[in-house]
Amino acid sequence: MNSIRRISAVLLVPLLLLISCYSPALAGADIKNRQYHEQKGDMIWEVPISQKVIALTFDDGPDPTETAQILDVLQEYNAKCTFFAIGKKIAAYPEIAGRVISEGHELANHTYNHVYFKRPISVGQVMKELKQTEDEIVKVTGHHSSLFRPPGGMYDETLVNVSNRMGLKPVLWSWHQDTRDWNRPGVWSISSKVIKNARSGDIVLFHDYVHGQSQTHEALQIILPALEKQGYRFVTVSELIRLSDSEKAAESRQLAY
């Protein structure tokens, strides 16, 4: 019996070590997860706010057909949104990128070549992809953007640190608001996902370019009036951040008195 206990103890030690490597509760600061980055303030998934505002975001454009269709719907409902654009597509379709800006939306960085960064991520590759895209954004807007979304949501500490040093805050999306519209699941699937899960401060993930016939602009024709009826406003990610910061400042002033 004692021999069995000794063997069990020997086997238990490496098992506990293995668990500690993968358990945030046991591993502590060694796990750089969402909670770590949100507390540090160097990444954003969604924004804490009491006002009924939501940020709709669109990846992978600009596209002369799909982006234009989406802009038409947004204009109808006076919805302001953020477009995470691919640098080489901005270069190819500067007039569409210009329309994004002229109609009050935000143009942000989504790399130049839509790179899915493989871990460990190269400092040089991140800097090159982001700088090339910023060069195209400056040509269209006259200034640098301040936000960046890595394709596929892939990141590590290198990407987070490099992009922040370049003045580009990595922005992902609310986990309950990934529409998967790139997979063309159906207009009802896309629209019901957003409407049923809507919360103040959400960052919703759409695409303004997909392979095949996009269903996104049709879904928006359902989403926008439905959420507008619930009292929601649609703002850019930068505006969402500013509104949240203003709320926090007001709360701090109230606590000071």
Measured in whole angstroms, how far is the alpha carbon of residue 206 from the centre of its chain? 10
Does residue 134 contact residue 109 with C-beta atoms inside 8 Å?
A: yes
pLDDT in tens, the chain (257 residues): 444 444 444 444 444 333 333 333 333 334 589 999 999 999 999 999 999 999 999 999 999 999 999 999 999 999 999 999 999 999 999 999 999 999 999 999 999 999 999 999 999 999 999 999 999 999 999 999 999 999 999 999 999 999 999 999 999 999 999 999 999 999 999 999 999 999 999 999 999 999 999 999 999 999 999 999 999 999 999 999 999 999 988 877 777 76
Give me the active site residues, please. Answer: 59, 207
Report the alpha-carbon distance of residue 55 to residue 79 in Å, rounded: 9
Question: Residue 133: how many CA atoms within 13 Å on its side-chain side?
Answer: 33
Burial readout 117-143 (b: 16 or more C-beta within 10 A, e: otherwise): beeebeeebbeebbebbbebbeebbee
Report the alpha-carbon distance of residue 81 to residue 103 in Å, rounded: 10
Whole-prediction pTM value?
A: 0.87
